[in-house]
Copies of this chain bind each other. A is one copy, B any other.
């Protein structure tokens, strides 16, 4: 007989991950409570779903520190990050899976805050949670909580690819760069910014949908997370064997982010972002694309920053305000660990 007990105490215990009665209580009283309405197929070994036509699939592990930061938390990040990855392939998320790894002793009220946020953005994404897993590890086996999500959805705007970008396309950014990296760094180091800088963490599909629906010719999309836009642009240049020239003075960077970069010796183009993307778009469509983006919440600072060409294949060239040029290299070294 299943004994009726309830979640006791204020901390997660090892027994909550044992696969026995206490696991059931944790799942029912915490996960189901916060996620009801967004779950399909609970209580089975696997969820059953259906996606007609081609689907995009992406997985990511989230280990960010601190767990809560201005503009988001690990729960919001775990939903937005994986949904954004499939949005970059022209897909709207339909299903999400989530695996939680939790350290023994983790505060139940913090887990609830994370689940509330996870649930909020899952609803906003329109996706359903189709499979989940919870592991509890002994104290010291991991730092607090990690979440791995896998998103999948039908490809509604097909043929986007990092490998097929032609020369003579426009390179756009959908928003300011470096906000996420700068705020995580500042929060972690206890730097008081005296500003309202927040992570840009957001779902990107709603911003892209009007581009897809207005027949804008897009060749590639990529959210500039770890490695920043310098990483994305170098990956594209290499994958498509093209050159990319960027005008430095067109890079949209907030003053606070510039300040942090100057203070700490970072470059904004290497910093992680969680709510903006790089776009390669047919030049003739770039003006219309910007008009459309500027009407969206997350695209209001969108900017055309450069173009692709057939000189210097596999290279990214940064053109400075004074007409001088230099290569924008792949980010190198440690950068900032646990940024996402």
Contact = CB atoms under 8 A, between A and B. Distances in A.
Contacts of A227: 18-20, 23
Contacts of A48: 54-57, 89, 155
Say whether chain A's binding surface is mostly helix, strand, loop, or mixed: mixed
A129 to B, nearest CB: 10
A331 to B, nearest CB: 3
A193 interface: no
A2 B330 contact: yes
A22 to B, nearest CB: 7
Interface string A38-54: 00000111111111011
A63 B141 contact: yes
Nearest to A13: B334
A228 B20 CA distance: 9
A49 B54 contact: yes
A91 B130 CA distance: 15
A225 B19 contact: yes
Interface stretch (A98-106, A205-213, A256-264): A98-106
A22 B332 contact: yes
A309 to B, nearest CB: 15
A37 interface: no
A120 B178 CA distance: 40
- Which of A2, A19, A98, A142 has the most chain B CB atoms inside 10 A of its CB? A19
A198 interface: no
B58 A330 contact: no
Contact of A338 (B86, B89, B141, B239): B141
- Which of A141, A148, A222 has the most chain B CB atoms inside 10 A of its CB? A148
A26 to B, nearest CB: 13
Interface string A69-112: 00000000000000001101101000101111100100000000
A190 interface: no
Nearest to A104: B337
A7 interface: no
Contacts of A53: 50
B99 A19 contact: no
A206 to B, nearest CB: 17
A59 B333 contact: no
A335 B20 contact: yes
Interface in A111-170: 130-133, 135-138, 140-143, 146, 148, 150-152, 155, 161-163
Given A23-B227, A50-B55, 16 more contacts: A19-B226, A19-B228, A19-B272, A20-B270, A20-B333, A44-B89, A45-B85, A45-B88, A46-B57, A46-B85, A50-B53, A57-B97, A57-B152, A59-B132, A99-B148, A142-B143
Shortest Cβ-Cβ A-B pairs, 5 listed: A19-B226, A19-B227, A20-B331, A46-B58, A59-B97
